[in-house]
Amino acid sequence: MQGGNFDHLRFRLSEILSATNNFSDTFYIGSGGYGRVYKAELHHFDGINPLVVEGKNTGEIHKRHTTVAIKRIITRVDTQAEQGFFTEIELLSKCRHSNVVSLLGFCDERSEMILVYEYVSNGSLENFLEKKDRRINFTWAERIQMCLDIANGLNYLHTSTEDKRCIIHRDIKSANILLNNKWEAKIADFGLSKLHYAREKYSTLATNNIAGTQVYLDPEYEKTGRLKTKSDVYSFGVVMFEIMCGKLAYDKTYDEKGLPSLARQCFVERTLKNLVDPNIEKVDMLFSGFDQESFDMFTNVAYKCIAIAQSERPTMEFVIRELQKALNIQVFFIVIVIVIVVVVVVVVVVVVVVVVKNKGRLHISLNAMNMGTQNFSDSSCLGEGRFWKLYKGEVEHANGYSAIIAKRWDSHSRKGDDQFWKELAILFKHKHENIIHLIGFCYEKNEKIIVYEHASNGRLDKHFDDVNLRWMKRLEICFDVANGLKFLHTGGAEKDDKIIHGDIKSGSILLDDDWNAKICNLECSCKTMVYDRAEHIDDSAYDSLGHVDPKYKSTWYLTEKSDIYSLGVILLEMLCGKLAWEEGCEDHSQSLVPLAKKHYETNRNLNEMIFTGIKEQIEPLSLTTFVRIVFQCLEDEWDERPEASEVVIQLKEALGFQVSYHSFIELLFCLQCICTLYRQKPGTYPHFHVTIQIKYIQVLYLNKV
């Protein structure tokens, strides 16, 4: 050992034998390639210099009695163990950082090689990742913080100071990252480390002895023998991906090349989310995982770390800055979500109070619901969602006895319970002619049922191929849906109460006796743009898949413009007379929207895709206006899609063209009838003149509507 006095770090062998009961298996906690590790209690000096306490030289020697980790190194023929023993003493005796494991002392009596470290209670990161039945899982923010801990420790090692030279660890891997009782990460095992003058002109060490662990090993160092601090950066990048994936880099689920190669491939293909540890979503159930911007920042820096060429890898200072930004963004995201949750809880409390006050008026007994729906028989079922089923029936309620639609929630689902209260809260507060009207509810014997007004013509998606649903009525229905969305998006009378529906689709539109459209299924709604791996969107139901905003698939964000995209899909379904995602459709490329876009790019019209049952009814200007607003709604980027209010205006314009055309056709028919009558009965000219005047006034009036 070169330089410095290490006497204050030397333990007597008798102390260690006494503390471990002659290295009894009772104290054994693990082993590595060079020795066995024991857990025991010892008196030891606290710090690099025992005379220094909190930066002041007291002239007194201070000792502490704590739990320590004792590593007994096994002698090897190749002397590598002996070299590692002296290297650790020389390097760690000069290191003091909260993210680097502390060397408390050593023993070299009777040819023994023993190192004494601070005890890090939660073991190695490798052991944690190997466990399949973990009792604890980390949130996304905690994973970033863990990477920050390692990065700070590594940056300390790479930085030369007056007290120490630059240290290249050479074996950064999850097995050499220890976790304390607060789950803070500490870098350990410096047996392969090298001292390095980082401030010299050439900051590369040439060595014929390649050291490290495969999968984590810098490929350029392995190939050329040129060792740099960037070699540690590569290994750290691999650990970052391990922490993100929740698996070790050499896990059997990866191919022979291991995690780094797969991570680089997925980064280029933009499919890294397929590698993310699913436990993140479980532990972050309230916050639905991670913020997209935070995730992108994390993966960008991790990808740079595992670049093949050393020159393309960042410094640890850059890594720390980027990880800190990613952490700040995630924490801010969590704060925002907490605020939203608090608001939702307050709303639910208000709803519960209202429910209690209005229970006599709005509550419908379970007995009445059972009788009115024939005990929720299959013959009464109209459809179902992930956590509910829809039934038709007739029940007595506050406004009399009438036909109703009952939405019965899964009584065993916590998610269903949350959605029940959310939809009930929204329907209590948001009343509009194009939003389904709340008749009442049932909350009894663990049953949760919302009772809607009756919609005798059922769901919109059942009528697309109906030739009796003429183009004029289809336009009116589209106008109703857009008008209902406009109400939700603008907050109605209360401008601060804006709602994103989150699941607009033709199956969420009900039609009453007069074919007026009513938006329903508001259980997935929210009050602001939200990051949400929405279960109803992940579901494989045909009626959901075809309406999903493609921007959601790449960002996991739902916004008002996500509703607008879904509205555009409904408009296209109405024009083409078919579902966006029909049975047998295998992927998005075969669904209605991409097919329509491709057809329009080729032909500059959709004439060949228009439903034959309505094709001859459509006025050309009405069609042009309608198709224009359809493709505006279906734009890929949020800011290129219109507001709901703009859609309403353009649909009204398309409807106006169609009304005028319809009136004109009626007028021509009327004239034809009068001419026929005049030829049959001469002298009816005055009646003919009056009829023309009446129809002319009607046309002028309809144009103003």
Catalytic residue IDs = 171
Q: How many other CB atoms sit within 10 Å of the CB of residue 148?
A: 18
Q: How many other CB atoms sit within 10 Å of the CB of residue 486?
A: 19
> How many angstroms separate the CA atoms of 408 and 369, rounded?
10
Q: State phi, psi for 370 to the nearest 5 degrees.
A: -65, -45
Strands 185-187 and 166-168: unpaired
Q: How many other CB atoms sit within 10 Å of the CB of residue 671?
A: 14
> How many angstroms separate the CA atoms of 17 and 38, rounded?
11
CA dist list (Å): 368 to 376, 383, 394 = 11, 21, 9
DSSP string for residues in 635-689: -SSGGGSPPHHHHHHHHHHHHHHHHHHHHHHHHHHHHHHHHHHHHHSTT-HHHHH
| Cross-strand partners of 406 | 391, 451
The enclosing H or E element of 68 equals strand 63-73
Q: Which two tokens stand for residue 434?
A: 């194009």
The string over 24-50, giving b where at least 16 C-beta atoms fall within 10 Å of a residue's C-beta and e elsewhere, is eeebeeeeeebbbbbbbebebbebbeb
| Cross-strand partners of 52 | 57
- Angle of helix 292-305 relative to helix 316-357, nearest 10 degrees, comes to 160
Residue 430's closest CA among 438, 441, 421, 440?
438
CA dist list (Å): 557 to 148, 532, 550, 694 = 26, 6, 10, 54
Q: How many other CB atoms sit within 10 Å of the CB of residue 179?
A: 19
With H, G, I as helix, E, B as strand and everything else as coil, classify residue 407. Answer: strand
DSSP string for residues in 40-56: EEEEEE-SSSTTEETTE
CA dist list (Å): 265 to 102, 123, 261, 298, 303 = 38, 32, 6, 16, 10
> How many angstroms separate the CA atoms of 218 and 226, rounded?
10
Q: State phi, psi for 237 to the nearest 5 degrees.
A: -60, -40
Residue 573's closest CA among 685, 493, 461, 477?
461
